[in-house]
Amino acid sequence: MSSASDSASHTSIYSYDGEGRRVKRNLSGTETWQVYGLGGELLAEYAANTPAASPLKEYGYRNGQLLITARGVSAPRSNVALAANGATATAQNYTQDGVYPNMHFQPGLANDGVRHTSYDGDRYWRDEHGLPSSLEIDFAGSQTIDEIDVYTMGDFPFYTTQADPVAGQTFSQVQGATGYTVQYWNGSGWTTVPGGSVANNNLVWKQLNFTAVTTTKIRVTVNSCADNVACIVELEAWGTTAGLGSTADIEWLVTDQLGTPRMIFDKTGSLANAKRHDYLPFGEEVPGNFRSGIAGYQASDSVRQKFTLKERDNETGLDYSQARYYASTHGRFTGVDPLTGSGKPQLAQSWNRYSYCVNNPLVFIDPSGLIWGDLNNQAQWFETEAEMKKAGFSAMTQFLRRNPHGEGYLSFDRFQNYYEPVSSLAVSVGYAYGETPLREAGITTQSNLLFLLTDGIPNAVDYLYRTDTAQEVIHSPEADFCSVYSGVAGVEYGAARAFSEADSGLSMLGKAFEFRQLNKHLPGTAEAAKQLAVDGQAFVFNDLLTASRVESEIFARGIQTGSRGGVTRYGLQFDQPIGTQLFKDGGTRALNYGQLKLKESGLYHIMPRGGPGP
């Protein structure tokens, strides 16, 4: 989104860098610059063109989580050209005392803080030595200014009132300066401020605003006047100090499990000064008056990071989610993710590309607007096995993940990235909180996959994994577990089973599936048709899902039925048909028996059969 218009007809303009990060926000002409760190975290915000030492706001993090904000509390705007603030005025020349009895026109009268003359029309800078003529004011050191005000002579009888002129007030008599140039010193020469070349002027008070500059002095050169006399009543230069010093507004953030700031404390840490925020499930903030009577809910703060720490733009009500914007009032993104990676074939809730975190906002977050996941575990997704191996991870067979939509688990089918519900009881035997309880239960890991030993609480888990020579318990969430062929970003995964030696003599350790044999046993494939033509029969599974389930069940409960020619056979009888025997004449027979043939090399394949056999 590059621009937006709100209900008040104000237009906001947004600019982004080459990595898509928002670096400028221009709200009805007021521009803010945003600066990011190497990790993409927002570090500071600045008013346009201000010095690096004067940020509007700075951000501090701990372990990647926003912890503290510091906002520069602007000091009152100050006229740094004022004599009382240490500035001194000099001029090319001036009308000396005595030229007019009892009247004074020294340069110092143009920065004394008085914007009008005396009753009888003196006490301002006046030069009758010809034009052009210059008045210069030197500041008390380097100052940052963004406004210069020039006051010239008003008409009679106005100046006799000794009142400050108002905006838009004009003159028509001969005393006022009709043309002048306003400049600042850039360190090596004079530079005219934007709008500072004034001609055909008839304003008693002219205000010049410009992007802030840092300088040590300014000057005004009078070029024209009806009576050819330079007259400047007052010359002012205004600026604001906005650095983060002792006047900084410090705010500490206390977040919930999604990273959403729920309590904001000031630098005193006093509970009495705490501000509180509550949110509906999809991030819409609960109005403070809904919590009337509870301290902190109706107090205001300057933290723009709202739901899951995303910046909420007050002008639109949208959350800036990096790759796109999110509307918390609708629980939907305003556009699809640009890489279209958030939609996963096996999760129907992700098919709507505008949906937020597969409609489960109490568990998942979307840190970048590209892919949803768990806050504490940013796992990787690999669409293909080749991508996974290229990233340096081993090929996995199958594994379980916690079901984000309810009780139980979902098993992963490596054949087609498909998930099916699996009862919690089917895997509960594999749960333990360390290696010793696992062994005491008579269970050993016989998978070449990771197995999660946890109650599901992040950062408080044990991971049991297998190397080529041993099995170990890792007490760390940083294990490879977080990245192996992850089906859903950020969700915890484990191995398909932990097996008891008493249940099965078959271990998956060191085994590899012989994929070239698979198509012979799938319906509708060319390999199955060829098998039928050559042998007069073919044995095919109902579908890929059934084949995967048969493989898992045989490894879990299969019985060895014999061995011949270096091939060992394992099998299992199923209650329902798992496949069909096809005959060349068109006949068929239902098959309820699954067989796994294991070669001495460790390669194996599976097929449906009528019963145990060679």
Report pLDDT digits (tens) over 347-402.
677 788 899 988 888 877 887 887 776 554 334 444 455 655 565 544 333 333 33
Mean pLDDT, to the nearest integer, of 279-283?
A: 93
pLDDT at 533 > cutoff 70: yes
Domain stop point among 329, 346, 365:
329
Question: What token pair was written down for 601?
Answer: 């090399």
State which amino acid sits at residue 219: R
Minimum mean pLDDT range among 3-7, 266-270, 606-610:
3-7
Domain stop point among 204, 219, 239:
239
Domain that holds residue 49: 3-74+247-329
Estimate the share of the chain in helix, then strand, then coil, as percent rounded to the nearest 5: 15, 35, 50
pLDDT the model gives residue 439: 44
CB 504 within 8 A of CB 434: no
pLDDT the model gives residue 18: 81
What pLDDT band is residue 74 in, cutting at 50, 70 and 90? Answer: low
Minimum mean pLDDT range among 1-5, 124-128, 215-219, 495-499:
495-499
C-alpha–C-alpha distance, residues 354 and 362, integer Å: 17
pLDDT at 508 > cutoff 50: yes
Same domain, 99 and 69: no
Mean pLDDT, to the nearest integer, of 194-221?
A: 93
More confident residue, 199 or 415: 199
pLDDT the model gives residue 367: 79
State which amino acid sits at residue 176: G
What pLDDT band is residue 405 in, cutting at 50, 70 and 90? Answer: very low
Instruction: Report the SS3 class of residue 110.
Output: helix
CB 12 within 8 A of CB 29: no
- Cα 610 versus chain centre, distance: 57
pLDDT the model gives residue 6: 66
C-alpha–C-alpha distance, residues 324 and 1, integer Å: 8
Same domain, 70 and 82: no
pLDDT at 222 > cutoff 90: yes
pLDDT at 426 > cutoff 80: no
pLDDT the model gives residue 352: 87
The answer to whether position 103 is within a domain reads yes
CB 110 within 8 A of CB 233: yes
- Cα 440 versus chain centre, distance: 46
C-alpha–C-alpha distance, residues 205 and 154, integer Å: 9
Minimum mean pLDDT range among 91-95, 109-113, 287-291, 458-462:
458-462
Summary mean pLDDT of the chain: 75
Same domain, 135 and 152: yes
Same domain, 69 and 82: no
The answer to whether position 505 is within a domain reads no
Mean pLDDT, to the nearest integer, of 186-208?
A: 93
pLDDT the model gives residue 236: 96
Question: What token pair was written down for 608?
Answer: 């449906």
- Cα 432 versus chain centre, distance: 37
pLDDT at 490 > cutoff 80: no
% of the chain exceeding 90 in pLDDT: 32
What pLDDT band is residue 557 in, cutting at 50, 70 and 90? Answer: confident
The answer to whether position 535 is within a domain reads yes
What pLDDT band is residue 233 in, cutting at 50, 70 and 90? Answer: very high
pLDDT at 183 > cutoff 80: yes
The answer to whether position 363 is within a domain reads no
Contact residues for 409 (Cβ-Cβ < 8 A; gap 6+): 400, 401, 402, 403, 421, 422, 423, 424, 426, 427
Contact residues for 444 (Cβ-Cβ < 8 A; gap 6+): 438, 471, 498, 499, 500, 501
Same domain, 261 and 220: no
Mean pLDDT, to the nearest integer, of 114-139?
A: 91
pLDDT at 341 > cutoff 50: yes
Same domain, 193 and 83: yes
pLDDT the model gives residue 462: 31
What pLDDT band is residue 303 in, cutting at 50, 70 and 90? Answer: confident
Q: How many other C-beta atoms lie within 10 A of the C-beta of residue 561?
A: 17
% of the chain exceeding 70 in pLDDT: 73
pLDDT the model gives residue 357: 85
pLDDT the model gives residue 157: 78
pLDDT at 470 > cutoff 90: no
Same domain, 309 and 424: no
Same domain, 436 and 534: no
pLDDT at 506 > cutoff 80: no
The answer to whether position 334 is within a domain reads no
pLDDT the model gives residue 317: 87
Contact residues for 3 (Cβ-Cβ < 8 A; gap 6+): 11, 12, 13, 14
Same domain, 519 and 541: yes
pLDDT the model gives residue 256: 87
Same domain, 54 and 199: no
What pLDDT band is residue 612 in, cutting at 50, 70 and 90? Answer: confident
pLDDT at 459 > cutoff 90: no
The answer to whether position 258 is within a domain reads yes
The CATH number covering residue 110 comes to 2.60.120.260
What pLDDT band is residue 131 in, cutting at 50, 70 and 90? Answer: very high
Domain stop point among 329, 361, 396:
329
The tens digit of pLDDT for each residue in 472-484 reads 333 323 222 222 2
pLDDT at 608 > cutoff 90: yes
What pLDDT band is residue 329 in, cutting at 50, 70 and 90? Answer: very high
The answer to whether position 359 is within a domain reads no
Minimum mean pLDDT range among 84-98, 362-376, 412-426:
412-426
The answer to whether position 464 is within a domain reads yes
C-alpha–C-alpha distance, residues 310 and 326, integer Å: 9
Same domain, 50 and 62: yes
pLDDT the model gives residue 601: 82
Q: Do the bridges between strand 249-255 and strand 234-239 make them parallel or antiparallel, or are there none, so unpaired?
A: unpaired
Domain tally, the chain:
4
Same domain, 572 and 598: yes
